[in-house]
Structure 1
Amino acid sequence: MSQFVYYYEPLTPEDVSARALVLSLMSSTDASPQAIGRLIHAAALFGIEASTLRVAVTRLIKDELLESPERGIYSPGPKAQALMRRVKQWEHVAGRMVDWNGDWLVALTRHLGRSDRKQLRARERALALFGYQQTEEGFWVRPANLAGDLESHRAGLTEIGADEDIILMRASDMAMAGPQDWASLWSPDALSRSYAHAIDTMDKSMATLDGKAVDAAARETLLIGQPVIRAINFDPLLPPELGDQDGLLRMADKMRAYNKIGQACWQRYYASIEKAAQE
């Protein structure tokens, strides 16, 4: 199973790096660009020093994942914009799927080589974000239940890091030595348990957030919500014939509600900081 396919597990404060936090805030907020002061206050919730945050921002700019339209203000850079657009699609996950007729999408990558490790990782991340798994024969497959035609799907892959020369095919029949058991590349039972775990965790959090201090509430919503979004984005979007699609959609619905609460918690946290600064 691909290293990029993750099941849901809440984060701990120690799991949050300065780099990951900045990218998370950039992709989850409607308030981009972000001021450095807000990023520093967000980092403080996870024990990240201001100096460490500033170093992470500098490196993200060097990697073209951030840009600074004006002093002290940051927004997603050219190399991050396409990926962040893809990340934000978690809110519309149902619209990314269509009924499955039994066909498979097949991505051929062996001709692309593996010597460029950075590009290899970008390629495999792009494929994982579209739910592909690698077979023993070395090509990547997934059920052909994604909305859109093959060319637009290929464009979506290359936009977020796959090679321009990647080859995609739609297979309705396949003859090969040995069994062709591509459905076993995924674990639907584990995915179903992951959906239920995420929903239960969000429900318990929503029941107690009102009684927490503003900083604790903001921190909790990121530690719980961010890995849910990640789980949705890396979900293989299996059709009902192969997995618990209803469970995935319930998790996404719950995350939409949780995200609204989380955004409100963060706004209250920032407001409390601004109020304290004025006193």
Structure 2
Amino acid sequence: MSQFVYYFEPLKPEDVSARALVLSLMSSTGAAEHPIGQLINAAALFGIEAATLRVAVTRLMKDDLLESAERGVYAPGPKSRALTRRVQQWQHVADRMVDWNGDWLVALVQHLGRSNRKQLRARERALALSGYQETDDGLWVRPANLASDLDRHRADLTDIGADDDIILMRASGVAKQGDQNWARLWSPADLSRSYARAVEAIEVSLTRLPGLSVEAAARETLLIGQPVIRAINFDPLLPPELGDQAGFLRMAEKMLEYNKTGQACWRAYYTSLEETAQD
């Protein structure tokens, strides 16, 4: 099993960087644009100074990950729009899966090279976001239980960073010396435990939130919600024949409930700041 399996683990406030926070807010709140004041107020919840936040925004602008249609208002930039859309699809993740007939999707990347480290990272991130694992032979594979056809799936991969020359194929059988049990590239037991931990964390948080201050409630929903969303987005979406699909869908459904609560908590936090400013 490669490093591209992500398990749920709540964030700590000190783990939230200015850069990660901005990108997280851009992809998770549903708002098309974010005023700099709002970003600064969000950063304050995690002990991030306004100057540090502004530096992060400037660097994200230089990297084309943010853009500004008007002074002090920011939105995802040209290099992050497709990835932002992909991350936001976690809310409809069940629609991405179909029944599995035993076939596999195989991504061929050996001809693409590894000398361009930046593109290599983008390629492997795109494949990981689509549930692929790397085999000992350098192939990237996953069960062929995605709803998209091969051409559409390939376009989705290139949109989020994979090379334009990546080759995809659908395999119904493989004959080769050695172990070809690709199902072993994932650990269904570890994934199932991760789903259960995420659901438990959400349920515990939902009972705690009503007793917290608006600041603490907003902070907690991000510290728990973001890693759950990350786990959903990087999940291999294994079919029931290979993993705990029911547990995964239970986590995703629970996160939908938690996301609504989290959005309300953040609105309450921003409203409290506006009311304080008016006093």
- Do Structure 1 and Structure 2 share a fold, with TM-score over 0.5? yes
CA distance in 1, matches of 2:277, 2:26: 24
Cα deviation, 1:64-122, whole Å, max 9, x if unaligned, reads: 00001000000000111000100011001110000000000000001000000000000
CA distance in 1, matches of 2:155, 2:246: 28
* Residue in structure 2 matched with residue 51 of structure 1 by the alignment: 51
CA distance in 2, matches of 1:139, 1:116: 18
Kindly report which structure 2 residues correspond to 1:167-182, keeping only aligned pairs within 5 A, or say none.
Answer: 167-182=167-182
Maintained 8 Å contact 2:66/2:77: yes
Q: Give the AA of the match of 2:14.
A: E
Unaligned 5+ segments in structure 2 are: none
* Residue in structure 1 matched with residue 153 of structure 2 by the alignment: 153
* Residue in structure 1 matched with residue 256 of structure 2 by the alignment: 256
Is residue 126 from structure 1 mapped to residue 113 from structure 2 by the alignment? no
CA RMSD of aligned residues (A): 0.6
CA distance in 2, matches of 1:184, 1:194: 17
CA shift at 1:187, angstroms? Answer: 0.2
Q: Normalising by the residue count of structure 2, what TM-score does the alignment of the two structures yield?
A: 0.99
CA distance in 1, matches of 2:14, 2:81: 27
* Residue in structure 2 matched with residue 210 of structure 1 by the alignment: 210
Q: Give the AA of the match of 1:26.
A: M
Unaligned 5+ segments in structure 1 are: none
* Residue in structure 2 matched with residue 186 of structure 1 by the alignment: 186
| Other structure's SS at 2:40 match | helix
CA shift at 1:179, angstroms? Answer: 1.9
Maintained 8 Å contact 1:35/1:74: yes
Cα deviation, 1:198-236, whole Å, max 9, x if unaligned, reads: 000000000110110000000000000000000000000
* Residue in structure 1 matched with residue 111 of structure 2 by the alignment: 111
CA shift at 1:169, angstroms? Answer: 0.5
* Residue in structure 1 matched with residue 99 of structure 2 by the alignment: 99
CA distance in 2, matches of 1:21, 1:150: 34
Kindly report which structure 2 residues correspond to 1:132-143, keeping only aligned pairs within 5 A, or say none.
Answer: 132-143=132-143
* Residue in structure 2 matched with residue 88 of structure 1 by the alignment: 88
| Other structure's SS at 1:37 match | helix
Q: Give the AA of the match of 2:99.
A: D
Q: Give the AA of the match of 2:43.
A: A
Maintained 8 Å contact 1:123/1:163: yes
| Other structure's SS at 1:242 match | coil
Q: Give the AA of the match of 2:258.
A: Y
CA distance in 1, matches of 2:11, 2:175: 44
CA shift at 1:16, angstroms? Answer: 0.4
CA shift at 1:162, angstroms? Answer: 0.1
* Residue in structure 1 matched with residue 278 of structure 2 by the alignment: 278
* Residue in structure 2 matched with residue 62 of structure 1 by the alignment: 62
Maintained 8 Å contact 2:105/2:143: yes
Q: Give the AA of the match of 2:261.
A: I
| Other structure's SS at 1:78 match | coil
* Residue in structure 2 matched with residue 229 of structure 1 by the alignment: 229
Maintained 8 Å contact 2:4/2:133: no
Q: Normalising by the residue count of structure 1, what TM-score does the alignment of the two structures yield?
A: 0.99
Displaced runs of 4 or more, over 4 A = none
| Other structure's SS at 1:105 match | strand
CA distance in 1, matches of 2:4, 2:57: 24
| Other structure's SS at 2:80 match | helix
Maintained 8 Å contact 1:2/1:128: no
Q: Give the AA of the match of 2:231.
A: A
* Residue in structure 2 matched with residue 15 of structure 1 by the alignment: 15
CA distance in 2, matches of 1:27, 1:146: 23
* Residue in structure 2 matched with residue 32 of structure 1 by the alignment: 32
% identity of equivalent residues: 75
Maintained 8 Å contact 1:67/1:74: yes
| Other structure's SS at 2:79 match | helix
